[in-house]
Structure 1
Amino acid sequence: MNALPASLQSWFKTRGWSIHPHQQDMLDRAQDPCLLLIAPTGGGKTLAGFLPTLMELADDPRGGLHTLYVSPLKALAADIKRNLRTPIDEAGLPIRVEDRTGDTSAHVKKRQRADPPHILLTTPESLALLTSYEDAPRMFAGVQRVVVDEIHALAESKRGDQLMLALARLQTMNPGLRRVGLSATVEDPGAIARFLAKHPDPCEIVIADPGPEPDISMLVTEEAPPWSGGGAKYAIPAVLDEVKRHKTTLIFHNTRAQAEIFFHNLWLANEEGLPIGIHHGSLDRGQREKVEAAMVRGDLRAIVCTGSLDLGIDWGDVDLVIQIGAPKNVKRLVQRIGRANHRYNAPSKALLVPANRFEVVECVAALEAVKAHELDGGWRGRGPRDVLCQHILIAACSGPFEADALYAEMSTAGAYADLTRSEFDDCLEFCATGGYALRAYDQWQRLKQLPDGRWQLRDPRSAARIRQNIGTIQDTDTLKVKWRGRGGAPLGEIEEGFAATLTRGDTFLIGGQIVRYEGLRELTVEVTRDAVKKPKIATFMGTKFATSTQLSNRIVRMFQQDDWPDLPHHTRDWLRMQREVSRLPEPGRLLIESFPHDGREQLVAYGFAGRNAMQTLGLLLSKRMEEEGLAPMGFVATDYAVLIWGLDAVIDPAPLFDIAALERGLETWLAGNAVMKRTFRASATIAGLIERQVGGQRKTGRQATMSSDILYDTLLKYDPDHLLMQITREEAMRGLVDFSRIREMAERVEDRIDLVRLDRVTPLAAPLFLEPGRVPVRGQADERLLEEEITRLMETSGLAQVETKPSKPVWRVPY
C-alpha cells in the first residue's frame, strides 16, 4: 500500500480527515496506464485524481510539466486551482499550479510554454492549441499523467473527440503517459473506460462507495401546474418559501430564456429583498464572476442558473437544489442534485418543479429512475470526421508529419478505432486541396507533400490562422450588449437574429435587468435602464434538451399501472380520464388518435421520441399525408407526441409510418433545407473550410453565413459527394433531426399501430392545442379550401366554376 508523504499525512491530520478507500486505491494504482474513478459528488474524487501527482512531486520536485488536468469548464479549472492550492500551501509542497484557458493573458501563455508549471489546468481547446506549436514535444516531454475531470460530459460531445485526439498526440510524444478519468455520473462505465483508454489497451475502473441516497422529491404547491408552458410561474411562492428555509439554493433551468423569465418573476415576488443572483453562459464574464464570488462568500440566498453551474464546482454552502421544469435526462438531474451538500456521506437535497401537467409525470419518472440508479445516455458512436480534419491541420501546424504515423496515432483514440485508411486519406486530401470542386482556389490549398513523403503546411504563415480557429464549440451568432455611453459596462450577449427584430425603445431582459434598446454601434447593442414590467425576452440559444429514450420508456411503463398513487390528484384524474375516454400509450406499440376539432380533422401520434425527433416526424408525416391526398394543414410537436391537423381523417395510418418512405422523404427535404446549410456551416467551420477568426477579428454571423451558404450551394451543384457534404448529411441525421430515434421507434413498433377514432379531443391530446411553435403546411389543403370558396362564390353569383391551378406543397420547420 502506497503511503502519503509525511507532509500530506500531517495536513490530513490537522483537518481531522482520513483518506477515503477510493483515494487510497488511486494511490496504490498510481502506475496503472489508465484508470477511471467513479465517485459520488463531494467524495473527494478530484483530490483522489491528484494525490499520486502530489506524492510523486513531493518525493521528486523536479522542474517541468508533470500533470495535465483537463476540465470541460474554464470556471471549473479555476475552482480546482483554488482548491488544490490549499493542500499544497498548507503542506509546504514546492509545487507550481497554474491554469491555462481562454481567459489567460497572452503574456502568461507565452511564459507557460517556455517554463511550464508542475501542474497545468486547462480545457480541451487550449490543450489542442498547445499541441499545435513546434515546441510542443519539448513542453510535454516530461508529462507523466493527465487527469480528465467530468469525463462523462466530454464524452457526449465533439469536445471529447478533440480531447482524445490531443491525448493520442501526447502519448506519441511520451509513450509512458498515464490517463485518469473522473466522474460522478456514468451510465456505462465500460464505454467511458474505452473512450478514455489508448486503443486497444484496457482501462481499469475504480468505483467508490456511492454514499447516502439523495433526498429528492417534487415540490408541493397550492396551485396546480398549467396545461402547457415552461416557466413554472405558478410555483414562485412555494420556491420563495424554500429559499427562505435554506442557506443557499441553486434554481436550475433548462434554457437561458427560461432562467431570465423566472428570475424576473421571482424578483418581483421577492418582497423581503432576499439577495438573489442569476448565472448563465450569455452573461458577461465579469457579471458571472461577481455572482460566483458572492456564492463562495455565502452572500446569496439563491442563484437562478442553467447548465453553467452543472459541473463539479464547489460553490460555497449550497444546501438545496431546485430543478424548474422536467430534467429531460436522469444523468443531468443527478449531476445537478450533487451541487447541494457537496460533502462526502451527506445526502444531497433537491426539489423538482414541473412546469406543466405532463411534466408532473416526467418528474415522477425521473425521481424513480434516480432511486433505481438508472442513468440514461449512450455511446455516441464513431468519431466525426470534421474533428479529424481539424486535428490533421493542428498536426501540420507543429511541423511535417508522416501520413502513416498520423493515421496510426489517430486510430488509438477510441472513437476513431475503426477509422479506415481510405476515410483518413479523404480527410487528408480535403485538408491539402479542399476537395475536387475547390482545388482550384489557393485559399484551400493548405498542405503539400515533401519529396520524402511527409506532409507540411504549404504556407507556414497559415499556422496562425488555423490556431485562431481551433475548437469544436459552435457559438451562436451573438452581439455584445453594453450600457450606452463611453466606457459602458458590458452586460452579456444576445443572438444576432433577436437583435435584428429590435427597434429603438424595445425592452428585453438580460442578467435579470430590464433594458431599453437604443441602437447598434460598432456591432455592439447599446441599452439603457427601463422600469417597464413586461419586457421582451432575449432569445438566448442555449441547448434545447429532448427527453432521453430511457426516461421516455419509463414514462410509458408508468402508464401501464392500475393507478398512480405517487401522482398528485389532478394529474392522476387526468390519466384516469384518458384511459376511460381513449387509451394510454403502451410499450412496443404506437397509439394514434383521430378526432374532429374546430372544423378540422386531427391526428395525434404518441411516439415518445424526444422533441427533435417528434418535430421531424411531424414534418415527414405531413409530407406522407400530402402524398396520400389527405390535405394536412399544419403540425405541432412535443417530446411525447405530434399533432397534425388537416381536411381529411386518416383511416389507415400504417402506410404513413413506413420507415423506408419516411427516410426517402427526409433525404428529399434535407437536400436544400436550411437545416442542412446550418449543419454544413458548423462542420465546415470545425474542419477548417470556413474561418470565424481572421487576423484576430471575429466575422459577424451574417458574413459567416453568406460565405457558408455560397460554399454549400456550390458543392451541392458541382460536387454533391464532397467530404464536407458527406459529413453534413451524417451530422444532420444524427443531430438536429434525430432520425435515429424515429428509426428506433419504427423498429420497436413494427406493425403494432393502434388507431383510436373518437368524436372529440382526448385528455392527453388537449395540451398539444396550447403548445407554441405551430408549423403550417402549404399544399393541397390551401388549394381545396380555395376551390370550395371559389365554388361558393360562383354558385351565389350564378357564374360558371373555374379551374384552379394546383400549388406545390411547402413544409417549413423552425429548426
Structure 2
Amino acid sequence: MLAAARAGRHALLVAPTGAGKTLAGFLPTLTELVEAPAEGLHTLYISPLKALAVDVQRNLLAPIDEMGLDIRVETRTGDTPHERKVRQRARPPQILLTTPESLSLLLSYPDSLTMLAGLKTVVIDEVHAFATGKRGDLLALALARLQRLSPGLRRVALSATVADPDGYRAWLAPYGDIDQVTLVQGEPGAKPDIAILLPEGRVPWAGHSGTYAIPQVMAEIETHKTTIIFCNTRGLAELIFQQLWKVNELKLPIGVHHGSLSLEARQRAEQAMADGRLRALVATASLDLGVDWGDVDCVIQMGAPKGSSRLLQRIGRANHRLDESSEAVLVPGNRFEYLEARAALDAVEAGELDPDVFRPGTLDVLAQHLMACACAEPFDGGDMLHEIRAALPYSALPAETFESVLQFIQDGGYALRAYDKFKRLTRGGDGLWRVTLPAFVAQHRLNAGIIVEAPMLEVRFRNGRRLGKIEEGFGNSLSPGDTFFFAGLALEVERVEQTDLIVRATAKQARFVSYMGARLAITATLAQRVRTFLHDRSQWRRFPDDVREWLEVQEARSALPAPGQLLVETFPHEGRHHMVAYSFEGWNAHQSLGMLITRRMEALGLKPLGFVANDYALAVYGLEKIEDPAALFSPDILEHEFVDWVQGSALLKRAFREVAIIGGLVERQHPGKKKSGRQVTFSTDLIYDVLRKYEPDHLLMRAAWQDARARMTDVGRLAHLLDTAAETMLHVDLQRVSPLAVPVLIMIGRETVAQSSAEDALLMEAETIAAEAMRVD
C-alpha cells in the first residue's frame, strides 16, 4: 500500500478480516503527514456505517497518540453536531471520517470547494457494501466531483469479500480505467471454524427463527468471552433477545442492536461492547461490517445465512487475529435451511463468494447530486456531463438523458411545470445552471439522502427519553393499552401524538414489532449448491439422519430435481388442490411469481385461494386441480400479468415514493417541522396519479419502474425461471403431500411469526403434516 501511494496510484486492497486493512489504508496518510506536516484536509475516510466511522476513529486515535503525532481525526455523519460541521468547513482536521450521504451534503456548501481543493487521499472502507447500489452511485458521483476539485487525488478502497476485483477496480478508477488501480491482496488468514448447531441431532420441519436452539445458544454465550448473535431481521433480533433472557439464569449482560433503535441506545450497546461489559449482543446487518471488538470470540447466525459473502463478513466479527480461526455457529430454522447452511460452509471452505452485479447508475440519485452541486456553485451543463461520465455507473449516460434530468430539476417535467415549487434550477443568460431560490438550498440539505425508510413513528417515554423508531404501518395498528417488545423492553402504549408513540414499561405479555423491510433472499450461487445436494446422493452421508431420511423418502415418493430442472408437484391436501414449484430463485422472486400465477389461475377458472413462498419453493393452492402447470409458467406472463399487476399494486407507488424523495421532488422535512409518513405518502401518491395519467414517460416514472422491477421483485431471476420452465419442468402428480413440500406448506395461514406460542403451534402442525408426508405405502 505504501509503494502504491509513493507511485501516486489508486489502490484496491483485498484482505481477510483481521489482517489490518484499515491501518494499511491509512498508513500512507500517516507517513505523508509525518514527513511533511500540514494543516488542512488531507484524507477523507468513507464508511457505509456511522458506527464504523466512530469505531475507526477509536482504533486510529490509539496509534496516533502512541506515536505522539500531531494529527487531528474527526467524524462527520448525520449524528455530528451542527456547530462542529460548520467549524470543520472553516478549519478541517487532517483526517475526516464520514459516510457517502454526509460527503454529498458537504459538497453542497460553497466553502467546501476550498476545503476539498487540497485533498490528497480518499479511503473507502468495506467498498463491497455499497458499490453496486444507489449509495455507490452517489459515492461514485462524489468521487468524480472530488477529482475535479483536486486532480491529484488518490483513491483507495478496502474490502474482505470481493468476488470480482477487476469490477471494483473499474468502479474505483476515474473513467473506469482499471490500469490506474493497483490491486493489493493480503495473505489468507486461518480458516474459520464453523459448526451447525443441531439440538438432539434433530432439524425442525418448519420455522425460520431457530428458537428451538435457544438453550444451546445460551450455553455458547456462557462458555465464551463475548458473542455476537446475528439475525436476518429486526423483528427476529427482538424475539431472540427476549428468548435468551428467559433462559439467562446466570443474569449475564446481553444487549440488542439494530437500525431502528435510537442513536443513544445503539451507542450504549457499542460502548458496552468496546469496554467488554457485555457477554453477548443480538444484532442485525447493523453490525455486519467492520466494527471491530477484539474480545468477540464467537459469532452465532440465527437462521440461514443467505449468502457466503455475508456469512464471511459476519464470521469476521469474531477473533480479530489473522493467525487464529474465527469461531462461528449456524442455527438453521428448518431442513431446507440446514442444506443452505451446509452449502454456505462449503462455499466458504472453497473460497467461493457471491457475485457482485454492477449496473447503470439511477437517475433519481443523479438528480440529487446535480442539485447538491448547484447549491455549492453554478455549473456548465457540458462540463458537468463530462465530470459525471468519469463515474463508472454513469460512464455511458446519453447526453439527452442528462438533459432530461436537468429539465426535471428545472421545472418538474411537462405535467408539473405549472407549479413554482418544482422549479428548483434556472439556466441564466451566461448558460450556467444555478439554484432558483435560497429556500431550495435549505430544502435540499434537509432532505438529501439515499436511504428511504418506511414512514416511522418515534417511540419514547413520557419523560422524553427516546428508544428508537417503528414503522408507521405497525404503529397505526396499536391502541392505548396494547403492548409490544422493542429495544429489549416490554412496552405499553399510552397514546399516539402525531409522529410520536408514547409508551411506558410493563410486565404484561407483549407481541413483537413487524417490519416491512426488504427480505434477504438466498443468493443464486448458494441456491445452486443446495440443488446439487438434492441431486448428488454421495453428499447425503454428511447430513443428520433425519435430513437424509427426508430426502430418501422424497426420492421414493416423488422425485428430486436435477440442478437444471424445475420440479413441480400437484396433490390434494385438506380439501384443496396444491401446486408446489421448487425453483430456488429466492423469496422475492417467488413472492412476485405467486402474485402472477394466482392472477393467471383466476383467468383460467382455477379458483385460486392463495400462495406462500420461501427461498426454495412456491406453493399455490385453490379449489380446482391444476392439470397443466406448464401453462402457468409461460414467459409471456412477464409481458401481460406482470405489467398489469405492478401498475395496479402498491409496489409501483412505493417505488415512486422512494425515487420522488431521492430525486428531490417531495421533501420529507421542512425547516422547523417534519412531515409524517402519511403526509409524504399522500403527496407522492397524488403526484404519481397525475404523472400516470398525463406523463407516464416522466423521468421518475421510468426510475420507479426500474426500481420496482430490479430491486423489489428480483425480476432477473424470475425471467430466467420463466424462460427455462417449459423445457426443464418435471411434473409429478401425487395423491398426498410430499416430504419436500412440508417446510413451505405449513406456512399457509402463518406468514408472520409472532409469539413463541405461535412458533410452538407451528412446529406441532408441521409434525402432523410431516407424518403424512413421510408415510411410505
CA contact (8 A) 1:494 1:538 kept: yes
Match of 1:463 in 2: 441
Q: Distance in 2 between matches of 1:528 and 1:281?
A: 21
Specify the code of the residue in structure 2 equivalent to 1:661: I
Q: Distance in 2 between matches of 1:589 and 1:84?
A: 52
Match of 2:529 in 1: 554
Moved more, 401-410 or 647-656: 647-656
Instruction: Assess, with a 3 A threshold, how the Cα gap between structure 1 residues 37 and 314 changes in structure 2: closer, same or farther.
Output: same
Q: Distance in 1 between matches of 2:567 and 2:588?
A: 19
Specify the code of the residue in structure 2 equivalent to 1:213: K
Instruction: Assess, with a 3 A threshold, how the Cα gap between structure 1 residues 239 and 136 changes in structure 2: closer, same or farther.
Output: same
CA contact (8 A) 1:636 1:774 kept: no
Residue of structure 2 aligned with 1:616, choices 592, 599, 605:
592
CA contact (8 A) 1:150 1:184 kept: yes
Q: Distance in 2 between matches of 1:384 and 1:34?
A: 25
Matched, 1:273 2:251: yes
Question: CA shift at 1:226, angstroms?
Answer: 2.7
Matched, 1:117 2:93: yes
Q: How far does the alpha carbon of each residue in 1:19-55 deviate from its partner, in whole angstroms, 9 at most, with x for none?
A: xxxxxx4445443432100011010000000000000
Specify the code of the residue in structure 1 equivalent to 2:520: F
Match of 2:76 in 1: 100
CA contact (8 A) 1:654 1:751 kept: no
CA contact (8 A) 1:432 1:445 kept: yes
Specify the code of the residue in structure 2 equivalent to 1:397: C
Matched, 1:722 2:698: yes
Q: How far does the alpha carbon of each residue in 1:409-441 deviate from its partner, in whole angstroms, 9 at most, with x for none?
A: 111111111111111111111011100100111
Match of 1:191 in 2: 167
Q: Distance in 2 between matches of 1:160 and 1:468?
A: 21
CA contact (8 A) 2:203 2:547 kept: no
Q: Distance in 1 between matches of 2:75 and 2:397?
A: 34
CA contact (8 A) 2:257 2:282 kept: yes
Matched, 1:228 2:206: yes
Instruction: Assess, with a 3 A threshold, how the Cα gap between structure 1 residues 515 and 774 changes in structure 2: closer, same or farther.
Output: closer
Instruction: Assess, with a 3 A threshold, how the Cα gap between structure 1 residues 369 and 752 changes in structure 2: closer, same or farther.
Output: same
Residue of structure 2 aligned with 1:320, choices 298, 308, 331:
298
Match of 2:320 in 1: 342
Match of 1:383 in 2: 361
Q: Distance in 1 between matches of 2:517 and 2:4?
A: 42
Residue of structure 1 aligned with 2:461, choices 483, 500, 516:
483
Matched, 1:166 2:118: no
Matched, 1:581 2:557: yes
Specify the code of the residue in structure 1 equivalent to 2:171: F
- SS of 1:704's equivalent in the other structure is helix
CA contact (8 A) 2:596 2:637 kept: no
Residue of structure 2 aligned with 1:285, choices 260, 263, 266:
263
Instruction: Assess, with a 3 A threshold, how the Cα gap between structure 1 residues 232 and 774 changes in structure 2: closer, same or farther.
Output: closer
Question: CA shift at 1:100, angstroms?
Answer: 0.6
Q: Distance in 1 between matches of 2:302 and 2:202?
A: 15
Q: Distance in 2 between matches of 1:598 and 1:713?
A: 43
Instruction: Assess, with a 3 A threshold, how the Cα gap between structure 1 residues 64 and 416 changes in structure 2: closer, same or farther.
Output: same
Residue of structure 2 aligned with 1:59, choices 15, 35, 45:
35
Instruction: Assess, with a 3 A threshold, how the Cα gap between structure 1 residues 649 and 587 changes in structure 2: closer, same or farther.
Output: same
- SS of 2:383's equivalent in the other structure is helix
Question: CA shift at 1:399, angstroms?
Answer: 1.4
CA contact (8 A) 2:630 2:725 kept: no
Question: CA shift at 1:749, angstroms?
Answer: 4.4
Matched, 1:650 2:601: no
Question: CA shift at 1:704, angstroms?
Answer: 0.3
CA contact (8 A) 2:4 2:11 kept: no
Q: Distance in 1 between matches of 2:637 and 2:723?
A: 14
Q: Distance in 2 between matches of 1:115 and 1:167?
A: 22
Identity among equivalent positions (%) equals 50
Question: CA shift at 1:628, angstroms?
Answer: 2.5
CA contact (8 A) 1:250 1:304 kept: yes
Match of 1:792 in 2: none
Question: CA shift at 1:772, angstroms?
Answer: 5.2
Q: Distance in 2 between matches of 1:772 and 1:711?
A: 37
Q: Map residues 92-491 of structure 1 onto 2, 5 A cutoff.
A: 92-202=68-178, 203-222=181-200, 224-484=202-462, 487-491=463-467
Question: CA shift at 1:663, angstroms?
Answer: 3.0
CA contact (8 A) 2:655 2:704 kept: yes
Q: Distance in 1 between matches of 2:95 and 2:306?
A: 37
Q: Distance in 2 between matches of 1:28 and 1:611?
A: 43
In the alignment, structure 2 segments of 5+ residues that lack a partner are: 752-777
In the alignment, structure 1 segments of 5+ residues that lack a partner are: 1-24, 776-815
CA contact (8 A) 2:336 2:616 kept: no
Question: CA shift at 1:629, angstroms?
Answer: 2.6
Question: CA shift at 1:331, angstroms?
Answer: 0.8
TM-score (norm 1): 0.90
Q: Distance in 2 between matches of 1:705 and 1:150?
A: 33
Q: Distance in 2 between matches of 1:455 and 1:175?
A: 23
Match of 1:516 in 2: 492
Specify the code of the residue in structure 2 equivalent to 1:347: S
Question: CA shift at 1:626, angstroms?
Answer: 2.2
Question: CA shift at 1:223, angstroms?
Answer: 6.4
Specify the code of the residue in structure 1 equivalent to 2:211: K
- SS of 2:28's equivalent in the other structure is helix
CA contact (8 A) 1:328 1:546 kept: yes
Specify the code of the residue in structure 2 equivalent to 1:687: G
TM-score (norm 2): 0.94
Match of 1:805 in 2: none
Of structures 1 and 2, the larger Rg is shown by 1
Matched, 1:742 2:749: no
- SS of 1:99's equivalent in the other structure is strand
Question: CA shift at 1:200, angstroms?
Answer: 3.4
Residue of structure 1 aligned with 2:659, choices 683, 689, 696:
683
Q: Which has the higher contact order (CA 8 A, sep 6+)?
A: 2
Moved more, 285-294 or 54-63: 285-294
- SS of 1:765's equivalent in the other structure is helix
- Over the aligned positions, Cα root-mean-square deviation in angstroms equals 1.5
Specify the code of the residue in structure 2 equivalent to 1:622: T
Match of 2:511 in 1: 536
Residue of structure 2 aligned with 1:545, choices 504, 507, 520:
520
CA contact (8 A) 1:254 1:543 kept: no
CA contact (8 A) 1:635 1:774 kept: no
Match of 2:774 in 1: none
Specify the code of the residue in structure 2 equivalent to 1:440: A
Question: CA shift at 1:169, angstroms?
Answer: 0.5
Match of 2:609 in 1: 633
Question: CA shift at 1:748, angstroms?
Answer: 4.4
Question: CA shift at 1:189, angstroms?
Answer: 1.2
Question: CA shift at 1:488, angstroms?
Answer: 3.5
Match of 1:779 in 2: none
Q: How far does the alpha carbon of each residue in 1:609-641 deviate from its partner, in whole angstroms, 9 at most, with x for none?
A: 110100111111112222223222211111111
Specify the code of the residue in structure 1 equivalent to 2:91: D
CA contact (8 A) 1:37 1:182 kept: yes
CA contact (8 A) 2:519 2:588 kept: no
Q: Distance in 2 between matches of 1:647 and 1:560?
A: 32
Instruction: Assess, with a 3 A threshold, how the Cα gap between structure 1 residues 284 and 772 changes in structure 2: closer, same or farther.
Output: farther
Question: CA shift at 1:542, angstroms?
Answer: 4.4
Residue of structure 2 aligned with 1:667, choices 633, 640, 643:
643
